[in-house]
Amino acid sequence: MKKEFAVIGLGRFGGSICQSLSEEGLEVMAIDVDEDKVNEFANIASHAVVGDTTDETVLKSIGIRNFDHVIVAIGDNIQASILTTIILKELGVKDITVKATNDYHEKVLSKIGADRIVHPERDMGRRIAHKIVSNNVLDYLELSDEHSIVEIVANHRLHGHSIIDLDIRAKYGINIVAIKRNKDIIVSPQAIEIIQKNDILIVIGADADISRFEKRLLGD
């Protein structure tokens, strides 16, 4: 079963996350109080809804507790962001990521139980979306619109295989530029290097190719 996501607040940050999750082929509900913004995402997200998420009845009516992950990306209205987060927690939403606009906002969100708190000025929407989607991705650095460097945790599917056995470059068009193993870093690992479970692979390549690698080798 694919995870289902809801993005509340469709400004530049929330819109970026919504688009990135949708491009991954995931189920995404886009929610905003502004009808024009919702209309913009009607053909991008799986569902697009106009609603005031500070109203508990609205959140209940759209079945928000059934979503695996809710991203609260409300812009300048800190009160709405905090109230929405409180209601989501009370309704039992499993995983909540919230955009913080300043340090005070972050402290409040932390106290009310937000699972992840992000600062859009420090974290790009695409990067955060990528980390939300994959349990194996530790970090994500965008090099251009189409290329990135990603830290991926090797799981049991990669354990015991050499880089040449996996034929990663030929099959996926990506390169492992380094391997972090405990406190050691193996830079430019040789093709015969055996990958161990929980190694951190630092991979560079096109976003589409990295995504294919994750899905085929690292999927549950």
Using one digit for the tens of pLDDT, what is the confidence trace for 62-109? 999 999 999 999 977 999 999 999 999 999 999 999 999 888 899 999
How far, CA to CA in Å, does 123 sit from each of 40, 64, 218? 23, 25, 24
Q: What is the pLDDT of residue 61?
A: 96
Q: What is the pLDDT of residue 132?
A: 58
Q: Within a 10 A sphere around the Cβ of 152, how many other Cβ atoms?
A: 24
Q: pLDDT higher for 114 or 177?
A: 114
pLDDT exceeds 60 at position 176 = yes
pTM of the model: 0.64
Residue 214: pLDDT band with limits 50, 70, 90: confident
pLDDT exceeds 80 at position 124 = no
Q: Which of 181, 152, 37, 159 is nearest to 7 (CA)?
A: 37
Q: What is the pLDDT of residue 112?
A: 93
Task: Give 190-207 pLDDT, tens digit per residue.
Answer: 999 999 999 988 888 888
Q: What are phi and psi of 191, to 5 degrees?
A: -60, -25
pLDDT exceeds 80 at position 131 = no
Q: Which of 61, 16, 9 is nearest to 38 (CA)?
A: 9
- Report the distance separating Cα 94 and Cα 117, nearest Å: 15
Share of the chain above pLDDT 70, in %: 86
